[in-house]
């Protein structure tokens, strides 16, 4: 679990949504708070709520220090507050009492030293994955294609985040429904040297257009650079969390509230 949080957001400190790009020297830039905040409504109706906080480090350093002494809470509809406690085993802030609902407004508030951070989101719903197919790819080395299917609702303008997860691989992909509106649609991942009997988990997450730009940029930049988190271009783009007391010292990362469906599979 932890490697997935690290992989996504060591990249995300360099690439977020496609607006307000700022070029900096990442070897000398001041440390910033890196926020990965996720409120997820799972397919079984339960909620999975966690916030990971780290500090940015020099571009070629592999570990960002974990922030364990911040104050983290989520306020629902500008009323009830749900404080998050720090879980030392997982290095995450968690709350198991917050049950997500459609139509509610969720406000993330973080106090870290003299800085106060804030973001607002509503729950983005999605559709489940229906089934998984496995195909061996000939002519391009030892690759296996893992494909899942989903039914896009007609005319809703949906955006999707997909993940592939096994003990040795983690991949992201995004899609909108511009060319798939209302259709049964595949999403595929290509895995090198996939061993038979490997436990695989695929997920589909509902996202909005801003989050779509965030992850699309991240994926494009890492693909262009050869796939390594330290081969990307040293550009920083603002996410959707703001520093209320010092806007110029904005944090890195993202806050999302989303419905998530997962599907498990064992490779053949």
Whether the pLDDT of residue 7 is over 90: the answer is no
SS3 220: helix
Q: Which pTM value belongs to this model?
A: 0.83
pLDDT for 106 equals 98
Say how far apart CA 190 and CA 61 lie, in whole Å: 29
Overall number of domains in the chain? 1
Q: Which residues contact 159 (CB under 8 A, 6 or more apart)?
A: 124, 174, 175, 176, 177, 206, 207, 208, 209, 211, 212
Please indicate, yes or no, if residue 173 is contained in any of the structural domains: no
pLDDT for 169 equals 96
* Both tokens assigned to 134: 């496995």
Segment 51-65 shows an average pLDDT of 78
DSSP secondary structure code for residue 66 in this structure: B
pLDDT for 216 equals 86
* Both tokens assigned to 51: 């916030």
Among candidates 76, 65, 110, 99, which has minimal Cα distance to 251? 110
| Residue 18 CA: distances (Å) to CA of 116, 136, 212, 217 | 24, 35, 10, 7
Please indicate, yes or no, if residue 172 is contained in any of the structural domains: no
pLDDT in tens, 196-228: 999 999 999 999 999 999 888 878 766 654 443
pLDDT for 184 equals 98
Whether the pLDDT of residue 38 is over 90: the answer is yes
Segment 174-183 shows an average pLDDT of 96
pLDDT in tens, 66-105: 999 999 999 999 799 999 999 999 999 999 999 999 999 9
pLDDT for 237 equals 55
pLDDT in tens, 109-132: 999 999 999 999 999 999 999 999
Whether the pLDDT of residue 62 is over 70: the answer is no
Which region among 14-18, 90-94, 161-165, 256-260 has the lowest average model confidence (pLDDT)? Answer: 14-18
pLDDT for 220 equals 76
Domain that holds residue 57: 2-123+234-257
SS3 3: helix
Please indicate, yes or no, if residue 264 is contained in any of the structural domains: no
Please indicate, yes or no, if residue 86 is contained in any of the structural domains: yes
Please indicate, yes or no, if residue 199 is contained in any of the structural domains: no
Please indicate, yes or no, if residue 35 is contained in any of the structural domains: yes
Please indicate, yes or no, if residue 115 is contained in any of the structural domains: yes
Segment 255-268 shows an average pLDDT of 97
Whether the pLDDT of residue 25 is over 50: the answer is no
Please indicate, yes or no, if residue 128 is contained in any of the structural domains: no
């Amino acid at each position: 679990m932890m490697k997935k949080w690290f992989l996504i957001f060591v990249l995300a400190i360099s690439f977020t949504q496609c607006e307000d790009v700022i070029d900096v020297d990442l070897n000398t830039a001041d440390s910033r708070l890196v926020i990965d905040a996720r409120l997820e409504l799972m397919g079984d109706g339960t909620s999975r709520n966690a916030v990971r906080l780290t500090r940015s480090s020099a571009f070629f350093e592999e570990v960002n220090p974990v922030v364990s002494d911040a104050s983290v809470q989520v306020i629902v509809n500008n009323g009830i507050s749900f404080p998050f406690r720090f879980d030392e085993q997982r290095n995450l802030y968690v709350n198991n009492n917050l049950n997500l609902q459609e139509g509610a407004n969720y406000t993330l508030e973080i106090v870290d030293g003299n800085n106060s951070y804030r973001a607002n989101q509503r729950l983005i719903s999605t559709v489940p994955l229906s089934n998984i197919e496995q195909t061996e790819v000939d002519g391009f080395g030892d690759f296996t294609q893992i494909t899942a299917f989903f039914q896009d609702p007609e005319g809703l303008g949906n955006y999707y985040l997909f993940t592939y997860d096994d003990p040795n691989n983690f991949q992201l992909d995004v899609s909108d429904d511009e060319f798939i509106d209302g259709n049964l649609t595949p999403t595929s991942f290509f895995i090198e040297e996939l061993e038979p009997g490997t436990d695989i988990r695929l997920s589909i997450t509902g996202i909005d257009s801003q989050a779509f730009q965030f992850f699309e940029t991240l994926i494009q930049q890492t693909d262009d650079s050869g796939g390594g988190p330290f081969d990307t271009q040293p550009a920083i783009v603002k996410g959707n969390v703001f520093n209320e007391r010092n806007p110029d010292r904005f944090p890195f990362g993202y806050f999302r509230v989303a419905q998530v469906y997962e599907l498990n599979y064992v490779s053949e």
